[in-house]
Structure 1
Amino acid sequence: MGRVEYSPLFETRRCRGRFIYRSFAISLFVAICFIWHYRFSHITKGEDGNWAWLGMLASELWFGFYWVLTQALRWNLVFRQPFKNRLSQRYEKKLPRVDIFVCTADPDIEPAMMVINTVLSVMAYDYPTEKLSVYLSDDAGSQITFYALLEASNFAKHWVPFCKRFKVEPRSPSAYFKSLVSSGYPTDPSQAKELGNIKKLYDEMEKRIEDATKFGEVAKEARLKHMGFSQWDSYSSRRDHDTILQILLHKNDHNNSKDVDGFVLPALVYLAREKRPQYFHNFKAGAMNSLLRVSSNISNGKIILNVDCDMYSNNSQSVRDALCFFMDEEKGQEIAYVQFPQTFENATKNDLYGGSLTSILEVEFPGLDGYGGPLYAGTGCFHKRESLCGMKFSDQYCNDWNSEDDQFKEANLQELEQQSKVLASCNYEENTLWGKEMGLKYGCPVEDVITGLSIQCQGWKSVYYNPPRKAFLGLAPTTLPQTLVQHKRWSEGDLQILLSKYSPAWYGFGRINFGLQMGYSVYCLWAPNCLATLYYSIIPSLYLLKGIPLFPKVTKQSLS
């Protein structure tokens, strides 16, 4: 028999124009060397401004060093292209379970309607619904958020089949209705009629949720309709309460698991992990680790997607795109996570504060991908559960997509809830490796970056994919105070990584590609870079007021 030709599920192509850019970079480095030579050759002792001159030299040495590091992000750009048709041909009946984590923490900043629009958008993925499970982590333990999710579970029975029947994009109801204003309403009579009914249901749901938000509580009539509200009887505050867990939709609940067309809906779970004043909750990392444990007991999907509550799905094919990388027969074994870009729908035209992160998403992440993969950005990322839970990669590792069993087929939902609550308790992680070697790392403001670095240092690789139709759309900071707060957290967290045992300089040495080490160092040195920048911006101006120049004088001879 002839050998069957291997057809990859994705291809990797290198950026065109690399030779031109590298030639430019080399010429620029030569120019930088001339600047260094000038500074060194004009150092004089005992003259006014000598110390300032040395400071300028130190700043320029730093800028040159930092510029060299940034070349790792531009030297070897690669771009990916998945082949979803090949995935369907080979694995349509063997697609793995996918667990989706949506995280929210403050109902005042993250309104309930925004949260459930994100939840509904991921529930409507173009993927077998019986293999999808959606988990909402509510770190505020808000009754209103729970009520909104309960309303969304009922609305999903109409919304999910509507999306699949008419191939709706995007699948966030709010975003879809807004898009109709510019794209136009459907001309097909049946679709137009269904759209009218769906819009009416959505408006009614929105009014009920907005009323509850306005009054700060859920109406008594609504509370009596669902026993889940009884879990708030022992609730003291958002920082002091028991674990609140409710499985709202599940295929084992035969009375409340199907849409209006009779098809099973994705599982839907609400979780507010236990919080006590005497226990530090570790912010988003703690919430994600609780979700990891709880989901392993309820659905145990091999693939995990985590998204922020303000980052709705804009592309219903994203799950299949990601699986093309994970399930590739030759290269999929070593891939731990697939990172999609954070794209923003509210970016201003001029983008004064760089909130759209264009250079990072369009240039730097593809550059990191050329050396082993991008960093983990904290949202819009698909993970293998095994790698996220601390497994090290080895050459003997092999994807086993057929090993998913039916341990949950006959599970009793009340028993599942009670068993899972223990996994989200405050003291569960005591004397365990959670937050250290398992799950997301604790003790760092940028828990996502340090977790991604740790995963890559364990032998795994990652992939960056920026599809033509953006996978996720969210909200970027649009004011200076918002931008400063965000950049402060990033800079502080990245510097903390640099000074910790997980520094790419020594922890990554020998574990990841040297180019990837350089790339991580660019972000870890964001904060120190400001010192040289401030010096270079302020000192020359002050000395110029004293008549002491710190830059070469332009003369007629130099111009001739």
Structure 2
Amino acid sequence: MARLFATEKAGGSALYKLHAVTVFAGICLVLCYRATHVPAAGAGRAAWLGMLAAELWFGFYWVITQSVRWCPIRRRTFKDRLAARYGDRLPCVDIFVCTADPQSEPPSLVMATVLSLMAYNYPPEKLNVYLSDDGGSILTFYALWETSAFAKHWLPFCRRYNIEPRSPAVYFADSDNKPNDPRTLEEWSVVKDLYEGMTERIDSVVRSGKVPEEMKVNHKGFSEWNTGGTSKDHHPIVQILIDGKDKGALDSGGNVLPTLVYMAREKRPQYHHNFKAGAMNALIRVSSVISKSPIIMNVDCDMYSNNSDSIREALCFFLDEEMGHKIAFVQYPQNYSNMTKNNIYGNSFSVINQVEFAGLDTWGGPLYIGTGCFHRREILCGRSFNKDYKEDWDQGIKTQHRIDQTEEKAKSLATCTYEHNTQWGNEIGLKYGCPVEDVITGLTIHCRGWESVYNNPPRAAFIGVAPTTISQTILQHKRWSEGNFSIFLSKYCPFFFGHGKIRLPHQMGYCLYGLWAPNSLPTLYYVLIPSLGLLKGTPLFPEVCYMTSHISVSYDLH
């Protein structure tokens, strides 16, 4: 049977290996010179030995990097084969979006992301979109309520004209998307006016900080805020704004709408909320009583869907008859729309996206980076790999249920005390106790015998907004560096935790990021000490000798 995806070796690997051999020879020569020419005594000796230590570290770190650069691979999917083979028998998908603060994450931006996810090129009755609001803000709920109404017009518009991208904020901002056909232009203008009206109402409510009283009577969900509460102290809220199982939940074209759910897990000052990992685990439990889809996708609230076929591409890996049973999750890269030409802060992650994750895919799969990822639900719930295991792709809650009863049951799963004396955050769900909970969760999944896949299609699957200032960039990299280094120093160090469970190059690939933080020390030493040595006349490098030769030239003047 024809495969649903192909694996290809990246071009130029032979040339790179030749280059790597020459670099390795150069490293050996540098270390040999440094070790055999140590000064006898004085300040120069200490500086020289420090240079030797720094160069030993750089040599070691270079060897570690070869694990992800030696033989990268590329993946290519065949969506036409998926459609021909499975037709309407595709599995249901739960989509998780996490937000926390309506001030730092504007609700209008978050709603554009939600709309892009609801508009996937996928059967809408099999899509369930969940928004986790860790701030428990009535402003965010109001924005989602507005979104549920606008989706009735936006989704059929996307399907009718097969537009890309399906974020209305991005689509309408590009003047090239304005159609020339008068009929199409008329509908385009109507939908654009509806979107701008919705955005203006959301922004107006956020600026005022208050939802008008006359609007609160239009949906029972607003009563959840009658008892007060703050972003750090509030009861659990679960509201199903669109029930995809309800035959009356139709868009303007008469088609079923995806399920849309708002969740704010309970927060109390005396209980640790475990940040994004806690929100994700609450979403896993809440979705288990509303939809319980076998596939879970999660994305950050500022990473809109740029490719409406991303779900189908991910399923090409999960549903492949030969290799699909081994795959735990499919990771897409992070791409950004606000990159400048020079990209002075290095936030495009070009090396990570184009080289390193493709190299990790060779040895067992890329890291889980916390966004743009498709997981099997049962693996997030702690299942270990078994070659005889068969996934039930038809699982999920398909029967119609009473919304009020389902919401009350879901609320009980989002309380602060639910996880007490359970394995949530340890053996089940995302890991707790680490700033980069996504990385340590992915490592645990790999160590349970599963593999992951890196998919980087020609059209980016997700696009977000990168830090634009040096302070934002430093803060982000500080969190990543500290988090990955804490993993390296913990019991989850890939060299120990992964020993005998994942291959050595895979362990090295994980440590590549775990050693970001200590790598800064020899780098700083190498930047400062040679400069100071030059000022003081202390030689730390070989002297360069120039050899001249006298060449006599005779000219024939005749």
Coarse TM-score class (shorter-chain normalised): over 0.9
Which residue of structure 1 lines up, in the alignment, with residue 244 of structure 2? 251
Q: How does 1:173-322 map to 2 (within 5 A)?
A: 173-179=168-174, 181=175, 183-255=176-248, 257-322=249-314
Q: Secondary structure at the match of 1:506?
A: helix
Residue 143 (structure 2) pairs with residue 148 (structure 1):
yes
Answer yes or no: is the 8 Å Cα contact 2:100–2:134 preserved in 1: yes
Quote the offset at 1:184 in angstroms. 4.5
In 2, the alpha carbon distance for the partners of 1:457 and 1:203 equals 48
Which residue of structure 1 lines up, in the alignment, with residue 554 of structure 2? none
Answer yes or no: is the 8 Å Cα contact 1:298–1:408 preserved in 2: no
Which residue of structure 2 lines up, in the alignment, with residue 68 of structure 1? 63
In 2, the alpha carbon distance for the partners of 1:48 and 1:456 equals 48
Answer yes or no: is the 8 Å Cα contact 1:392–1:458 preserved in 2: yes
Answer yes or no: is the 8 Å Cα contact 1:252–1:413 preserved in 2: no
Q: Deviations over 1:66-104 (max 9, x none)?
A: 001001111010000010000001112210010000000
Q: Deviations over 1:132-164 (max 9, x none)?
A: 000000001111110000000000000001100
Which residue of structure 2 lines up, in the alignment, with residue 445 of structure 1? 435
Q: Secondary structure at the match of 1:11?
A: strand
In 2, the alpha carbon distance for the partners of 1:413 and 1:286 equals 24
Which residue of structure 2 lines up, in the alignment, with residue 504 of structure 1? 494
Q: Secondary structure at the match of 1:393?
A: coil
In 2, the alpha carbon distance for the partners of 1:553 and 1:523 equals 36
In 1, the alpha carbon distance for the partners of 2:490 and 2:12 equals 38
Q: Secondary structure at the match of 2:87?
A: helix
Which residue of structure 1 lines up, in the alignment, with residue 533 of structure 2? 543
Answer yes or no: is the 8 Å Cα contact 1:123–1:160 preserved in 2: yes
Quote the offset at 1:444 in angstroms. 0.5
Residue 5 (structure 2) pairs with residue 7 (structure 1):
no
Q: Deviations over 1:218-259 (max 9, x none)?
A: 11111121110110122321000000110000034444x110
Taking a change above 3 Å as real, the CA distance of residues 155 and 315 of structure 1, as seen in their structure-2 partners, is: same
Quote the offset at 1:390 in angstroms. 1.0
Q: How does 1:67-216 map to 2 (within 5 A)?
A: 67-179=62-174, 181=175, 183-216=176-209
Quote the offset at 1:351 in angstroms. 0.3
In 2, the alpha carbon distance for the partners of 1:298 and 1:151 equals 22
Give the total of aligned pairs. 550
In 2, the alpha carbon distance for the partners of 1:48 and 1:312 equals 56
In 1, the alpha carbon distance for the partners of 2:549 and 2:296 equals 62
Q: Which runs of 5+ in 2 are unaligned?
A: 551-558
Q: Secondary structure at the match of 2:7?
A: strand
Amino acid at match of 1:239: K
Q: Deviations over 1:180-237 (max 9, x none)?
A: x1x2421233321111110111111111111101111111111121110110122321
Q: Deviations over 1:100-139 (max 9, x none)?
A: 0000011111100000000000000000000000000000
Q: Secondary structure at the match of 2:429?
A: coil
Answer yes or no: is the 8 Å Cα contact 2:246–2:400 preserved in 1: no
In 2, the alpha carbon distance for the partners of 1:224 and 1:401 equals 40
In 2, the alpha carbon distance for the partners of 1:200 and 1:173 equals 11
Which residue of structure 1 lines up, in the alignment, with residue 324 of structure 2? 332
Q: Deviations over 1:236-288 (max 9, x none)?
A: 21000000110000034444x11011111000000000000000000000000
In 2, the alpha carbon distance for the partners of 1:507 and 1:342 equals 27
In 2, the alpha carbon distance for the partners of 1:398 and 1:39 equals 57
TM-score (norm 2): 0.97
Q: How does 1:456-495 map to 2 (within 5 A)?
A: 456-495=446-485
Flag as ranges the 4+ runs of structure 1 deviating above 3 A.
252-255, 557-560
Q: Which runs of 5+ in 1 are unaligned?
A: 1-5
Quote the offset at 1:545 in angstroms. 2.1
Q: Secondary structure at the match of 1:152?
A: helix
Which residue of structure 1 lines up, in the alignment, with residue 384 of structure 2? 392
Which residue of structure 2 lines up, in the alignment, with residue 382 of structure 1? 374
Q: Deviations over 1:23-51 (max 9, x none)?
A: 11011100100000000001133244111
Quote the offset at 1:410 in angstroms. 2.7
In 2, the alpha carbon distance for the partners of 1:14 and 1:247 equals 46
In 2, the alpha carbon distance for the partners of 1:463 and 1:123 equals 24
Which residue of structure 1 lines up, in the alignment, with residue 556 of structure 2? none
Instruction: Give the stretch that moved more between structures: 149-158 or 222-231.
Output: 222-231
Q: Secondary structure at the match of 1:463?
A: strand
TM-score (norm 1): 0.96
Amino acid at match of 2:311: V
CA RMSD of aligned residues (A): 1.4
Quote the offset at 1:557 in angstroms. 5.0
Answer yes or no: is the 8 Å Cα contact 1:390–1:438 preserved in 2: yes
Q: Secondary structure at the match of 2:109?
A: helix
Quote the offset at 1:558 in angstroms. 11
Amino acid at match of 2:5: F
Which residue of structure 2 lines up, in the alignment, with residue 424 of structure 1? 414
In 1, the alpha carbon distance for the partners of 2:186 and 2:548 equals 77
Q: How does 1:45-60 map to 2 (within 5 A)?
A: 45-60=40-55
In 1, the alpha carbon distance for the partners of 2:549 and 2:77 equals 55
In 1, the alpha carbon distance for the partners of 2:251 and 2:43 equals 80
Amino acid at match of 2:427: E
